[in-house]
Structure 1
Amino acid sequence: MVLFERAPAKINLSLDVLGKREDGFHEVEMIMTTVDLADRIELYTLEKDRVEVSTDSQYVPNDERNIAYKAALAFKNKYQLYQGVRIDIQKNIPVSAGLGGGSSDAAAVLRGLNRIWSVDAPLDELVELGAALGSDVPFCIHGNTAIGTGHGEKIRVLSSPPPCYVVLAKPDIGISTRHIFPKVTLDTLYHPQTDEVIHSLEDKDFGKLCYHMGNSLESVTFPLYPEVERIKDKMLQTGVDGAVMSGSGPTVVGLTRHFSKAKRVYNGLRGFCDEVYIVQLLDRR
Protein backbone atom coordinates (compact mmCIF):
# COMPACT_ATOMS: atom_id res chain seq x y z
CA MET A 1 0.00 0.00 0.00
CA VAL A 2 1.24 3.50 -0.79
CA LEU A 3 0.18 6.90 0.53
CA PHE A 4 1.30 10.38 -0.51
CA GLU A 5 1.63 13.36 1.83
CA ARG A 6 2.57 16.94 1.05
CA ALA A 7 5.05 18.58 3.43
CA PRO A 8 4.85 22.37 2.93
CA ALA A 9 7.48 24.86 4.04
CA LYS A 10 6.74 27.16 6.96
CA ILE A 11 7.73 30.80 7.21
CA ASN A 12 7.97 32.96 10.30
CA LEU A 13 6.01 36.18 10.39
CA SER A 14 7.35 36.79 13.87
CA LEU A 15 9.78 35.07 16.24
CA ASP A 16 10.51 36.22 19.78
CA VAL A 17 12.84 34.60 22.32
CA LEU A 18 11.53 35.26 25.83
CA GLY A 19 13.96 33.42 28.07
CA LYS A 20 15.69 30.14 28.83
CA ARG A 21 13.85 27.30 30.53
CA GLU A 22 15.09 24.87 33.13
CA ASP A 23 14.97 22.05 30.58
CA GLY A 24 17.54 23.88 28.43
CA PHE A 25 15.09 24.98 25.74
CA HIS A 26 14.36 28.63 25.07
CA GLU A 27 10.88 30.02 25.68
CA VAL A 28 9.62 31.37 22.35
CA GLU A 29 6.66 32.98 20.62
CA MET A 30 6.62 32.09 16.93
CA ILE A 31 3.94 33.14 14.47
CA MET A 32 4.12 30.88 11.44
CA THR A 33 2.23 30.15 8.26
CA THR A 34 2.73 27.76 5.35
CA VAL A 35 3.57 28.37 1.69
CA ASP A 36 3.19 26.27 -1.44
CA LEU A 37 6.85 25.24 -1.64
CA ALA A 38 6.63 21.64 -0.46
CA ASP A 39 8.42 18.31 -0.20
CA ARG A 40 6.62 15.17 -1.38
CA ILE A 41 6.47 12.22 1.00
CA GLU A 42 5.64 8.71 -0.20
CA LEU A 43 4.88 6.02 2.39
CA TYR A 44 5.01 2.34 1.40
CA THR A 45 3.94 -0.37 3.84
CA LEU A 46 6.41 -3.22 4.30
CA GLU A 47 5.83 -6.77 5.51
CA LYS A 48 8.97 -6.73 7.67
CA ASP A 49 8.99 -4.69 10.88
CA ARG A 50 11.47 -1.97 9.95
CA VAL A 51 11.75 1.66 8.87
CA GLU A 52 13.54 2.61 5.64
CA VAL A 53 14.20 6.13 4.33
CA SER A 54 15.35 7.30 0.93
CA THR A 55 15.75 10.85 -0.34
CA ASP A 56 16.87 12.55 -3.52
CA SER A 57 19.01 15.10 -1.62
CA GLN A 58 22.67 14.51 -0.87
CA TYR A 59 22.34 16.81 2.17
CA VAL A 60 19.70 14.66 3.91
CA PRO A 61 20.69 11.40 5.66
CA ASN A 62 19.04 8.13 4.66
CA ASP A 63 19.29 6.48 8.09
CA GLU A 64 18.21 6.86 11.72
CA ARG A 65 19.56 10.43 11.80
CA ASN A 66 16.72 11.53 9.51
CA ILE A 67 13.92 13.21 11.46
CA ALA A 68 11.32 11.46 9.27
CA TYR A 69 12.83 8.13 10.34
CA LYS A 70 12.65 9.26 13.98
CA ALA A 71 9.00 10.24 13.49
CA ALA A 72 8.09 6.81 12.10
CA LEU A 73 9.91 5.04 14.93
CA ALA A 74 8.21 7.22 17.55
CA PHE A 75 4.80 6.51 15.99
CA LYS A 76 5.43 2.75 15.90
CA ASN A 77 6.60 2.71 19.53
CA LYS A 78 3.73 4.87 20.77
CA TYR A 79 1.05 2.65 19.24
CA GLN A 80 2.97 -0.66 19.51
CA LEU A 81 2.87 -1.33 15.78
CA TYR A 82 4.97 -4.20 14.45
CA GLN A 83 4.71 -3.25 10.81
CA GLY A 84 7.23 -1.71 8.45
CA VAL A 85 7.30 1.37 6.28
CA ARG A 86 9.52 2.83 3.58
CA ILE A 87 9.63 6.62 3.42
CA ASP A 88 10.63 8.25 0.12
CA ILE A 89 11.32 11.99 0.39
CA GLN A 90 11.43 14.22 -2.67
CA LYS A 91 13.06 17.43 -1.46
CA ASN A 92 11.96 20.80 -2.82
CA ILE A 93 12.41 22.84 0.37
CA PRO A 94 16.03 23.98 0.86
CA VAL A 95 17.89 22.20 3.67
CA SER A 96 19.00 24.05 6.84
CA ALA A 97 17.16 27.13 5.58
CA GLY A 98 14.85 28.18 8.42
CA LEU A 99 11.84 26.90 6.45
CA GLY A 100 11.10 23.84 8.55
CA GLY A 101 11.70 21.32 5.78
CA GLY A 102 12.77 18.46 8.04
CA SER A 103 10.07 19.27 10.58
CA SER A 104 7.41 19.31 7.86
CA ASP A 105 8.66 15.94 6.57
CA ALA A 106 8.36 14.49 10.08
CA ALA A 107 4.86 15.95 10.48
CA ALA A 108 3.81 14.49 7.13
CA VAL A 109 5.08 11.06 8.21
CA LEU A 110 3.07 11.23 11.46
CA ARG A 111 -0.07 12.30 9.59
CA GLY A 112 0.47 9.69 6.89
CA LEU A 113 1.13 6.77 9.23
CA ASN A 114 -1.95 7.71 11.22
CA ARG A 115 -3.96 7.22 8.02
CA ILE A 116 -2.18 4.32 6.36
CA TRP A 117 -2.29 2.17 9.52
CA SER A 118 -5.81 3.40 10.51
CA VAL A 119 -4.72 4.41 14.02
CA ASP A 120 -7.03 7.44 14.11
CA ALA A 121 -4.91 9.14 16.78
CA PRO A 122 -6.23 12.59 17.76
CA LEU A 123 -4.33 15.67 16.69
CA ASP A 124 -3.15 16.39 20.25
CA GLU A 125 -1.37 13.03 20.41
CA LEU A 126 0.39 13.63 17.11
CA VAL A 127 1.46 17.06 18.36
CA GLU A 128 2.84 15.50 21.56
CA LEU A 129 4.86 13.03 19.48
CA GLY A 130 6.04 15.83 17.21
CA ALA A 131 7.15 18.05 20.10
CA ALA A 132 9.71 15.45 21.12
CA LEU A 133 11.20 15.55 17.61
CA GLY A 134 11.62 19.32 17.09
CA SER A 135 10.14 22.70 18.00
CA ASP A 136 8.62 23.28 14.53
CA VAL A 137 7.00 19.84 14.18
CA PRO A 138 3.84 20.63 16.21
CA PHE A 139 3.07 23.62 13.99
CA CYS A 140 3.75 21.61 10.84
CA ILE A 141 1.22 19.01 12.02
CA HIS A 142 -1.40 21.76 12.43
CA GLY A 143 -0.54 23.86 9.34
CA ASN A 144 -2.48 27.01 8.37
CA THR A 145 -1.38 30.00 10.52
CA ALA A 146 -0.65 29.69 14.22
CA ILE A 147 1.40 30.89 17.16
CA GLY A 148 3.74 28.42 18.84
CA THR A 149 4.71 29.05 22.45
CA GLY A 150 6.68 27.15 25.09
CA HIS A 151 9.50 25.73 23.01
CA GLY A 152 7.05 25.53 20.09
CA GLU A 153 4.85 22.70 21.35
CA LYS A 154 1.85 24.82 22.41
CA ILE A 155 -0.12 25.76 19.28
CA ARG A 156 -2.94 28.26 18.92
CA VAL A 157 -4.48 28.74 15.49
CA LEU A 158 -4.61 32.38 14.29
CA SER A 159 -6.43 34.21 11.54
CA SER A 160 -5.08 33.73 8.04
CA PRO A 161 -2.78 36.42 6.58
CA PRO A 162 -4.11 38.92 4.04
CA PRO A 163 -3.56 37.77 0.42
CA CYS A 164 -0.05 38.44 -0.89
CA TYR A 165 2.90 37.00 -2.75
CA VAL A 166 5.93 35.71 -0.88
CA VAL A 167 9.53 35.94 -2.10
CA LEU A 168 12.00 33.54 -0.49
CA ALA A 169 15.74 34.11 -0.85
CA LYS A 170 18.35 31.73 0.59
CA PRO A 171 22.10 32.35 0.31
CA ASP A 172 24.42 29.43 -0.38
CA ILE A 173 24.87 28.53 3.29
CA GLY A 174 23.06 26.34 5.78
CA ILE A 175 22.40 27.41 9.38
CA SER A 176 21.53 25.04 12.20
CA THR A 177 19.19 26.25 14.93
CA ARG A 178 21.44 24.42 17.40
CA HIS A 179 24.28 26.73 16.33
CA ILE A 180 22.31 29.97 16.81
CA PHE A 181 20.33 29.56 20.05
CA PRO A 182 23.38 29.07 22.34
CA LYS A 183 24.61 32.49 21.17
CA VAL A 184 21.41 34.30 22.24
CA THR A 185 22.05 37.07 24.79
CA LEU A 186 18.69 37.81 26.30
CA ASP A 187 19.42 41.23 27.82
CA THR A 188 20.40 42.73 24.46
CA LEU A 189 17.86 40.94 22.29
CA TYR A 190 15.36 42.76 20.08
CA HIS A 191 11.74 41.72 20.75
CA PRO A 192 9.11 42.07 18.01
CA GLN A 193 5.57 43.12 18.90
CA THR A 194 3.88 39.75 18.67
CA ASP A 195 0.45 41.09 19.71
CA GLU A 196 0.53 43.65 16.90
CA VAL A 197 1.26 40.91 14.37
CA ILE A 198 -1.72 38.94 15.70
CA HIS A 199 -3.96 42.02 15.47
CA SER A 200 -2.83 42.65 11.88
CA LEU A 201 -3.85 39.09 10.98
CA GLU A 202 -7.24 39.52 12.66
CA ASP A 203 -7.79 42.82 10.83
CA LYS A 204 -6.38 41.52 7.51
CA ASP A 205 -4.21 44.67 7.60
CA PHE A 206 -1.34 43.99 5.18
CA GLY A 207 0.53 47.24 5.87
CA LYS A 208 0.40 46.72 9.61
CA LEU A 209 1.58 43.12 9.22
CA CYS A 210 4.58 44.19 7.15
CA TYR A 211 5.47 46.94 9.64
CA HIS A 212 5.39 44.69 12.71
CA MET A 213 7.00 41.50 11.35
CA GLY A 214 10.19 40.75 13.26
CA ASN A 215 12.62 38.09 14.40
CA SER A 216 14.72 38.24 17.58
CA LEU A 217 17.31 35.91 16.06
CA GLU A 218 18.27 38.39 13.33
CA SER A 219 20.50 40.14 15.88
CA VAL A 220 22.33 36.84 16.40
CA THR A 221 22.47 35.53 12.83
CA PHE A 222 23.29 38.79 10.98
CA PRO A 223 26.70 39.40 12.65
CA LEU A 224 27.68 35.78 12.03
CA TYR A 225 26.38 35.69 8.43
CA PRO A 226 26.38 39.25 7.00
CA GLU A 227 25.12 37.99 3.64
CA VAL A 228 21.72 37.29 5.25
CA GLU A 229 21.36 40.92 6.31
CA ARG A 230 22.46 42.05 2.84
CA ILE A 231 19.69 39.94 1.28
CA LYS A 232 17.10 41.49 3.58
CA ASP A 233 18.34 45.00 2.73
CA LYS A 234 18.30 44.17 -0.98
CA MET A 235 14.74 42.85 -0.72
CA LEU A 236 13.55 46.07 0.89
CA GLN A 237 15.43 48.19 -1.67
CA THR A 238 13.90 46.34 -4.60
CA GLY A 239 10.34 46.74 -3.41
CA VAL A 240 8.92 44.24 -0.93
CA ASP A 241 6.50 45.76 1.57
CA GLY A 242 8.01 43.85 4.48
CA ALA A 243 10.89 41.44 5.02
CA VAL A 244 11.99 39.18 7.86
CA MET A 245 14.39 36.30 8.37
CA SER A 246 12.64 32.95 8.80
CA GLY A 247 13.61 30.83 11.80
CA SER A 248 17.31 31.05 12.59
CA GLY A 249 18.02 31.76 8.92
CA PRO A 250 19.42 32.02 6.41
CA THR A 251 16.26 32.36 4.27
CA VAL A 252 14.72 35.83 4.14
CA VAL A 253 10.99 36.21 3.51
CA GLY A 254 9.57 39.19 1.62
CA LEU A 255 5.87 40.03 1.27
CA THR A 256 4.24 42.04 -1.49
CA ARG A 257 0.69 42.53 -2.73
CA HIS A 258 1.44 42.36 -6.44
CA PHE A 259 3.02 39.66 -8.60
CA SER A 260 4.74 42.26 -10.81
CA LYS A 261 6.59 43.60 -7.77
CA ALA A 262 7.42 40.09 -6.57
CA LYS A 263 8.91 39.35 -9.99
CA ARG A 264 11.00 42.53 -9.87
CA VAL A 265 12.33 41.58 -6.44
CA TYR A 266 13.00 38.03 -7.68
CA ASN A 267 15.02 39.34 -10.63
CA GLY A 268 16.95 41.74 -8.39
CA LEU A 269 17.93 38.97 -6.01
CA ARG A 270 19.06 36.43 -8.59
CA GLY A 271 22.49 38.03 -8.67
CA PHE A 272 22.74 37.78 -4.89
CA CYS A 273 21.84 34.13 -4.39
CA ASP A 274 20.91 31.09 -6.44
CA GLU A 275 17.87 29.97 -4.48
CA VAL A 276 15.07 32.50 -4.95
CA TYR A 277 11.40 31.55 -5.10
CA ILE A 278 8.08 33.29 -5.62
CA VAL A 279 5.46 31.36 -3.65
CA GLN A 280 1.95 31.84 -2.33
CA LEU A 281 0.35 31.34 1.05
CA LEU A 282 -1.46 28.06 1.61
CA ASP A 283 -3.76 29.41 4.32
CA ARG A 284 -6.65 30.90 2.35
CA ARG A 285 -9.42 30.40 4.89
Structure 2
Amino acid sequence: MRILEKAPAKINLSLDVLHKRPDGYHEVKMVMTTIDLADRIELRSLNDDKIRIVSHNRFVPDDQRNLAYKAAQLLKSRFHIKQGVDIMISKSIPVAAGLAGGSSDAAATLRGLNKLWNLGLTLKELASLGAEIGSDVSFCVYGGTAIATGRGEIIKHIETPPHCWVVLAKPDIGVSTADVYQNLNLDEVNHPDIDGMVKAIQEQNYNGICQKLGNVLESVTMKMHPEVAVIKEQMKRFGADAVLMSGSGPTVYGLIQYESRIHRVYNGLRGFCDQVFAVRLLGERNTLD
Protein backbone atom coordinates (compact mmCIF):
# COMPACT_ATOMS: atom_id res chain seq x y z
CA MET A 1 0.00 0.00 0.00
CA ARG A 2 1.21 3.50 -0.86
CA ILE A 3 0.17 6.83 0.71
CA LEU A 4 1.07 10.22 -0.77
CA GLU A 5 1.04 13.39 1.33
CA LYS A 6 1.83 17.00 0.49
CA ALA A 7 3.98 18.89 3.03
CA PRO A 8 3.58 22.66 2.46
CA ALA A 9 6.05 25.26 3.71
CA LYS A 10 4.95 27.98 6.12
CA ILE A 11 5.86 31.64 6.45
CA ASN A 12 5.57 33.82 9.53
CA LEU A 13 3.46 36.91 8.92
CA SER A 14 4.23 37.95 12.51
CA LEU A 15 6.68 36.47 14.99
CA ASP A 16 7.07 37.79 18.52
CA VAL A 17 9.08 36.40 21.42
CA LEU A 18 7.64 37.31 24.82
CA HIS A 19 10.08 35.85 27.36
CA LYS A 20 12.22 32.85 28.19
CA ARG A 21 10.36 30.08 29.99
CA PRO A 22 11.53 28.05 33.00
CA ASP A 23 11.81 24.98 30.73
CA GLY A 24 14.41 26.75 28.57
CA TYR A 25 12.09 27.37 25.61
CA HIS A 26 10.94 30.84 24.60
CA GLU A 27 7.31 31.88 24.87
CA VAL A 28 6.26 33.00 21.39
CA LYS A 29 3.24 34.47 19.66
CA MET A 30 3.13 34.06 15.90
CA VAL A 31 0.82 34.32 12.93
CA MET A 32 1.70 31.64 10.39
CA THR A 33 0.25 30.61 7.06
CA THR A 34 1.04 27.94 4.48
CA ILE A 35 2.30 28.62 0.96
CA ASP A 36 2.21 26.56 -2.23
CA LEU A 37 5.81 25.40 -1.97
CA ALA A 38 5.75 21.83 -0.76
CA ASP A 39 7.72 18.64 -0.25
CA ARG A 40 6.12 15.35 -1.27
CA ILE A 41 6.03 12.43 1.15
CA GLU A 42 5.44 8.88 -0.08
CA LEU A 43 4.85 6.14 2.48
CA ARG A 44 5.08 2.42 1.71
CA SER A 45 4.62 -0.52 4.07
CA LEU A 46 7.66 -2.67 4.79
CA ASN A 47 7.56 -6.26 5.96
CA ASP A 48 10.64 -5.62 8.09
CA ASP A 49 9.96 -3.82 11.37
CA LYS A 50 12.09 -0.76 10.61
CA ILE A 51 11.87 2.85 9.46
CA ARG A 52 13.73 3.75 6.28
CA ILE A 53 14.17 7.34 5.03
CA VAL A 54 14.83 7.75 1.31
CA SER A 55 15.77 11.15 -0.13
CA HIS A 56 17.94 12.37 -2.97
CA ASN A 57 18.78 15.56 -1.07
CA ARG A 58 22.19 15.18 0.59
CA PHE A 59 21.20 17.58 3.38
CA VAL A 60 18.33 15.34 4.54
CA PRO A 61 19.42 12.94 7.32
CA ASP A 62 18.24 9.35 7.03
CA ASP A 63 18.28 8.50 10.75
CA GLN A 64 16.78 9.66 14.07
CA ARG A 65 17.82 13.27 13.36
CA ASN A 66 15.11 13.40 10.67
CA LEU A 67 11.78 14.70 12.05
CA ALA A 68 9.80 12.41 9.73
CA TYR A 69 11.74 9.46 11.19
CA LYS A 70 10.87 10.73 14.69
CA ALA A 71 7.20 10.97 13.71
CA ALA A 72 7.13 7.34 12.54
CA GLN A 73 9.08 6.21 15.59
CA LEU A 74 6.65 7.99 17.92
CA LEU A 75 3.59 6.37 16.32
CA LYS A 76 5.21 2.92 16.30
CA SER A 77 6.07 3.22 19.98
CA ARG A 78 2.81 4.82 21.14
CA PHE A 79 0.51 2.43 19.29
CA HIS A 80 2.71 -0.71 19.33
CA ILE A 81 2.99 -0.93 15.55
CA LYS A 82 5.13 -3.84 14.38
CA GLN A 83 5.11 -2.89 10.69
CA GLY A 84 7.93 -1.04 9.02
CA VAL A 85 7.69 1.87 6.61
CA ASP A 86 9.61 3.43 3.73
CA ILE A 87 9.42 7.24 3.93
CA MET A 88 10.39 8.83 0.61
CA ILE A 89 10.94 12.58 0.88
CA SER A 90 11.03 14.62 -2.34
CA LYS A 91 12.33 18.02 -1.27
CA SER A 92 11.24 21.30 -2.82
CA ILE A 93 11.43 23.36 0.38
CA PRO A 94 15.01 24.48 1.08
CA VAL A 95 16.62 22.83 4.12
CA ALA A 96 17.23 24.92 7.27
CA ALA A 97 15.49 27.90 5.72
CA GLY A 98 12.99 29.15 8.32
CA LEU A 99 10.11 27.60 6.32
CA ALA A 100 9.41 24.58 8.58
CA GLY A 101 10.29 22.06 5.87
CA GLY A 102 11.37 19.35 8.31
CA SER A 103 8.38 20.02 10.57
CA SER A 104 5.99 19.82 7.62
CA ASP A 105 7.58 16.53 6.52
CA ALA A 106 6.99 15.17 10.03
CA ALA A 107 3.39 16.42 10.03
CA ALA A 108 2.73 14.83 6.62
CA THR A 109 4.25 11.59 7.91
CA LEU A 110 1.88 11.64 10.91
CA ARG A 111 -1.14 12.22 8.65
CA GLY A 112 -0.01 9.57 6.16
CA LEU A 113 0.80 6.88 8.72
CA ASN A 114 -2.55 7.54 10.39
CA LYS A 115 -4.06 6.26 7.13
CA LEU A 116 -1.48 3.57 6.35
CA TRP A 117 -1.76 2.00 9.79
CA ASN A 118 -5.52 2.66 10.23
CA LEU A 119 -5.01 4.46 13.54
CA GLY A 120 -8.19 6.55 13.29
CA LEU A 121 -6.65 9.59 14.97
CA THR A 122 -8.10 13.09 14.56
CA LEU A 123 -6.06 16.09 13.40
CA LYS A 124 -6.19 17.38 16.98
CA GLU A 125 -4.72 14.12 18.27
CA LEU A 126 -2.04 14.14 15.56
CA ALA A 127 -1.19 17.77 16.39
CA SER A 128 -0.78 16.84 20.05
CA LEU A 129 1.65 14.09 19.05
CA GLY A 130 3.40 16.54 16.75
CA ALA A 131 4.15 18.83 19.69
CA GLU A 132 6.36 16.06 21.09
CA ILE A 133 8.48 16.14 17.91
CA GLY A 134 9.01 19.86 17.35
CA SER A 135 7.49 23.28 17.99
CA ASP A 136 6.20 23.85 14.42
CA VAL A 137 4.88 20.33 13.82
CA SER A 138 1.48 20.96 15.44
CA PHE A 139 0.79 23.89 13.11
CA CYS A 140 1.98 21.88 10.10
CA VAL A 141 -0.39 19.01 10.95
CA TYR A 142 -3.30 21.43 10.53
CA GLY A 143 -1.89 23.83 7.92
CA GLY A 144 -3.93 26.88 7.04
CA THR A 145 -3.52 30.16 8.90
CA ALA A 146 -3.25 30.34 12.66
CA ILE A 147 -2.03 32.12 15.75
CA ALA A 148 0.56 29.94 17.48
CA THR A 149 1.45 30.50 21.14
CA GLY A 150 3.31 28.65 23.89
CA ARG A 151 6.49 27.42 22.25
CA GLY A 152 4.50 27.31 19.00
CA GLU A 153 2.35 24.24 19.69
CA ILE A 154 -0.86 25.96 20.87
CA ILE A 155 -2.84 26.64 17.70
CA LYS A 156 -5.83 28.93 17.14
CA HIS A 157 -7.14 28.98 13.57
CA ILE A 158 -8.05 32.25 11.88
CA GLU A 159 -9.30 33.28 8.43
CA THR A 160 -7.19 32.74 5.34
CA PRO A 161 -5.50 35.97 4.18
CA PRO A 162 -6.49 37.42 0.80
CA HIS A 163 -4.82 35.63 -2.10
CA CYS A 164 -1.52 37.03 -3.25
CA TRP A 165 1.85 35.95 -4.59
CA VAL A 166 4.87 35.15 -2.45
CA VAL A 167 8.43 35.38 -3.75
CA LEU A 168 11.03 33.70 -1.56
CA ALA A 169 14.81 33.96 -1.67
CA LYS A 170 17.17 31.85 0.43
CA PRO A 171 20.82 32.87 0.55
CA ASP A 172 23.40 30.10 0.45
CA ILE A 173 24.03 30.10 4.20
CA GLY A 174 22.82 28.12 7.16
CA VAL A 175 21.34 29.76 10.25
CA SER A 176 21.28 28.14 13.68
CA THR A 177 17.97 28.84 15.38
CA ALA A 178 19.63 28.22 18.75
CA ASP A 179 22.30 30.86 17.98
CA VAL A 180 19.66 33.39 16.92
CA TYR A 181 17.73 32.94 20.16
CA GLN A 182 20.96 33.09 22.16
CA ASN A 183 21.74 36.50 20.62
CA LEU A 184 18.19 37.81 21.10
CA ASN A 185 17.89 40.72 23.55
CA LEU A 186 14.20 41.41 24.11
CA ASP A 187 14.97 44.90 25.44
CA GLU A 188 16.45 45.94 22.09
CA VAL A 189 13.88 44.74 19.55
CA ASN A 190 10.69 46.12 18.04
CA HIS A 191 7.79 43.84 18.88
CA PRO A 192 5.35 43.31 15.99
CA ASP A 193 1.68 44.26 16.24
CA ILE A 194 0.20 40.75 16.28
CA ASP A 195 -3.32 41.93 17.10
CA GLY A 196 -3.13 44.39 14.21
CA MET A 197 -2.05 41.60 11.85
CA VAL A 198 -4.96 39.38 12.95
CA LYS A 199 -7.40 42.28 12.48
CA ALA A 200 -6.05 42.98 8.97
CA ILE A 201 -6.47 39.30 8.04
CA GLN A 202 -10.00 39.20 9.45
CA GLU A 203 -10.87 42.30 7.41
CA GLN A 204 -9.15 40.87 4.28
CA ASN A 205 -7.10 44.07 4.21
CA TYR A 206 -4.07 43.29 2.04
CA ASN A 207 -2.42 46.68 2.61
CA GLY A 208 -2.97 46.31 6.34
CA ILE A 209 -1.27 42.90 6.29
CA CYS A 210 1.69 44.42 4.44
CA GLN A 211 1.96 47.19 7.03
CA LYS A 212 1.82 44.80 9.99
CA LEU A 213 4.45 42.26 8.87
CA GLY A 214 7.00 41.84 11.66
CA ASN A 215 9.56 39.38 13.01
CA VAL A 216 11.41 40.01 16.25
CA LEU A 217 14.22 37.64 15.16
CA GLU A 218 14.93 39.47 11.90
CA SER A 219 17.30 42.11 13.28
CA VAL A 220 19.24 39.44 15.19
CA THR A 221 19.79 37.24 12.14
CA MET A 222 20.70 40.27 10.01
CA LYS A 223 23.47 41.23 12.44
CA MET A 224 24.84 37.70 12.25
CA HIS A 225 24.33 37.38 8.47
CA PRO A 226 24.33 40.79 6.67
CA GLU A 227 23.47 39.11 3.34
CA VAL A 228 19.91 38.64 4.66
CA ALA A 229 19.56 42.43 4.89
CA VAL A 230 20.96 42.81 1.36
CA ILE A 231 18.35 40.43 -0.06
CA LYS A 232 15.59 42.22 1.81
CA GLU A 233 16.63 45.60 0.37
CA GLN A 234 16.90 44.17 -3.16
CA MET A 235 13.46 42.58 -2.90
CA LYS A 236 11.99 45.96 -1.91
CA ARG A 237 13.87 47.67 -4.74
CA PHE A 238 12.53 45.22 -7.32
CA GLY A 239 8.96 46.02 -6.29
CA ALA A 240 7.61 43.65 -3.62
CA ASP A 241 4.75 45.22 -1.65
CA ALA A 242 6.17 44.12 1.72
CA VAL A 243 9.21 42.08 2.71
CA LEU A 244 10.08 40.02 5.81
CA MET A 245 12.41 37.25 6.94
CA SER A 246 10.58 34.02 7.84
CA GLY A 247 11.25 32.28 11.15
CA SER A 248 14.87 32.51 12.27
CA GLY A 249 15.87 32.83 8.61
CA PRO A 250 17.69 33.04 6.41
CA THR A 251 14.83 32.96 3.83
CA VAL A 252 13.34 36.35 2.98
CA TYR A 253 9.92 36.60 1.35
CA GLY A 254 8.00 39.36 -0.37
CA LEU A 255 4.25 39.70 -0.79
CA ILE A 256 3.07 40.78 -4.23
CA GLN A 257 -0.56 41.47 -5.06
CA TYR A 258 -0.39 41.71 -8.84
CA GLU A 259 0.95 38.95 -11.05
CA SER A 260 2.40 41.48 -13.52
CA ARG A 261 5.08 42.38 -10.96
CA ILE A 262 6.17 38.81 -10.19
CA HIS A 263 8.71 38.39 -12.98
CA ARG A 264 10.62 41.58 -12.21
CA VAL A 265 11.05 40.63 -8.55
CA TYR A 266 11.81 36.97 -9.29
CA ASN A 267 14.31 37.65 -12.09
CA GLY A 268 15.99 40.44 -10.13
CA LEU A 269 16.60 38.19 -7.16
CA ARG A 270 18.05 35.40 -9.30
CA GLY A 271 21.17 37.57 -9.54
CA PHE A 272 21.61 37.40 -5.76
CA CYS A 273 20.37 33.88 -4.89
CA ASP A 274 20.26 30.46 -6.49
CA GLN A 275 17.17 29.45 -4.52
CA VAL A 276 14.32 31.76 -5.53
CA PHE A 277 10.67 30.71 -5.69
CA ALA A 278 7.43 32.39 -6.80
CA VAL A 279 4.34 30.72 -5.34
CA ARG A 280 0.82 31.50 -4.20
CA LEU A 281 -0.22 32.00 -0.63
CA LEU A 282 -2.09 28.82 0.28
CA GLY A 283 -3.61 29.29 3.72
CA GLU A 284 -5.98 26.31 3.44
CA ARG A 285 -6.26 23.77 6.25
CA ASN A 286 -5.37 20.12 5.77
CA THR A 287 -7.96 17.36 5.98
CA LEU A 288 -7.75 13.65 6.69
CA ASP A 289 -9.49 12.70 3.40
Fold equivalence (TM over 0.5): yes
Q: Does the 8 Å CA contact 1:165/1:280 hold for their aligned counterparts? A: yes
Q: Does the 8 Å CA contact 1:25/1:151 hold for their aligned counterparts? A: yes
Q: Which residue of 2 aligns with 1:97?
A: 97
Question: Which consecutive residues of structure 1, in runs of 5 or more, have no partner in the other structure?
Answer: none
What TM-score, normalized by structure 1, do the two folds share? 0.98
Q: Does the 8 Å CA contact 1:166/1:256 hold for their aligned counterparts? A: yes
Q: Which residue of 1 aligns with 2:107?
A: 107
Q: Which residue of 1 aligns with 2:173?
A: 173
Question: Which consecutive residues of structure 2, in runs of 5 or more, have no partner in the other structure?
Answer: none
Q: Which residue of 2 aligns with 1:252?
A: 252
Q: Does residue 155 of the first structure (1) align with residue 152 of the second (2)?
A: no
- 1:202-261 alpha-carbon deviations (Å, 9 max, x no partner): 000000000010000012100000000111111111111111100000001100111121
Whole-angstrom CA distance in 2 between matches of 1:253 and 1:147: 19
Of stretches 235-244 and 209-218 in structure 1, the one that deviates more from structure 2 is 235-244
Whole-angstrom CA distance in 1 between matches of 2:3 and 2:165: 30
Whole-angstrom CA distance in 2 between matches of 1:283 and 1:221: 26
Q: Does the 8 Å CA contact 2:34/2:284 hold for their aligned counterparts? A: no
Q: Which residue of 2 aligns with 1:238?
A: 238
Of stretches 100-109 and 80-89 in structure 1, the one that deviates more from structure 2 is 80-89
What TM-score, normalized by structure 2, do the two folds share? 0.96
**TM-superposed deviation, 1:284:** 5.6
Q: Which residue of 2 aligns with 1:141?
A: 141
Q: Which residue of 2 aligns with 1:223?
A: 223
Of stretches 202-211 and 61-70 in structure 1, the one that deviates more from structure 2 is 61-70
Q: Which residue of 1 aligns with 2:205?
A: 205
Whole-angstrom CA distance in 2 between matches of 1:192 and 1:262: 27
**TM-superposed deviation, 1:133:** 1.2
Q: Which residue of 1 aligns with 2:88?
A: 88
**TM-superposed deviation, 1:80:** 1.6
Q: Which residue of 2 aligns with 1:268?
A: 268
Q: Does the 8 Å CA contact 1:28/1:148 hold for their aligned counterparts? A: yes
Of stretches 210-219 and 258-267 in structure 1, the one that deviates more from structure 2 is 258-267
**SS, match of residue 82 in structure 2:** coil
- 1:25-53 alpha-carbon deviations (Å, 9 max, x no partner): 00001111111111110101111211111
Report the AA paired with residue 235 of structure 2. Answer: M
- 1:248-278 alpha-carbon deviations (Å, 9 max, x no partner): 0000110011112121111111111111110
Q: Which residue of 2 aligns with 1:185?
A: 185
Q: Which residue of 2 aligns with 1:19?
A: 19
Q: Does the 8 Å CA contact 2:42/2:87 hold for their aligned counterparts? A: yes
Identity rate of aligned residues, in percent?
Answer: 54
Write out the 4+ residue segments of structure 1 that deviate beyond 3 Å after TM superposition.
Answer: none
> RMSD over aligned Cα, in angstroms?
1.1
- 1:71-105 alpha-carbon deviations (Å, 9 max, x no partner): 10011111121111110101110000001100000
Q: Does the 8 Å CA contact 1:190/1:219 hold for their aligned counterparts? A: no
Whole-angstrom CA distance in 2 between matches of 1:122 and 1:216: 33
Report the AA paired with residue 143 of structure 1. Answer: G
